[in-house]
Amino acid sequence: MTKLTHLDEKGRAQMVDVSEKPATQRVAVAEGFVAMSPETLGMVIAGGAPKGDVLAAARIAGIMAAKKTSELIPLCHPLALSKASVEFAPSVAPAGLHIRAEVHVTGPTGVEMEALTAVSVAALTLYDMLKAADRGMVISGIRLLEKSGGRSGPYSAAPRPVDNAASPRGAKG
């Protein structure tokens, strides 16, 4: 079993000491999906949501969340990010929005948590801004897609098939 770095020899939580690790370029990419009714997706694409520009708000929320990850996730190191981006791609079947976040840093520790936090908060913001139209939305599939840099080397997730069960109320399409 791999030793968990956030636990000391007595099993107590600790912040990992990265002071001796070299600063290297690190990148992490994460994804997620918000399934919604086709009507809600159409409203987002047309820019007709009652609360305004849903995608702009979710993008800014995701970027801000990446920057604040160390304040939200215990034991994460505060990092001076050099890039944080959040992008959206509509999906017709199942209806919804794919979310992709990419985060960069030059430092002694990775940015996987920052990318995952960006996707999570962007998804929650989409839900918040659209819940008046569609309370049946489903947030799913939040995962690390890839990371590079650091001692552990690169990582790429295996492709995942589309899960139609994630669409609201089991709708297909």
Within the chain, what is the greatest distance between any pair of CA atoms? Answer: 56
Instruction: Find where tokens 């996987």 sit.
Output: 112
Active site residue 128: yes
CB 172 within 8 A of CB 93: yes
Contact by Cβ (8 Å): 54, 131: no
Beta-carbon contacts of residue 142 (< 8 Å; ≥ 6 apart) = 30, 31, 32, 116, 119, 120, 123
Whole-angstrom CA distances from 50 to 11, 46, 62, 121 are 49, 12, 20, 20
Strands 96-107 and 83-91: antiparallel
Which position among 8, 17, 53, 128 bears the catalytic label? Answer: 128
**Residue 101 in tokens:** 């976040």
User: E-strand spans in 8-154?
Assistant: 24-35, 83-91, 96-107, 138-148
- Residue identified by tokens 């976040």 is 101
Residues tagged active-site = 128
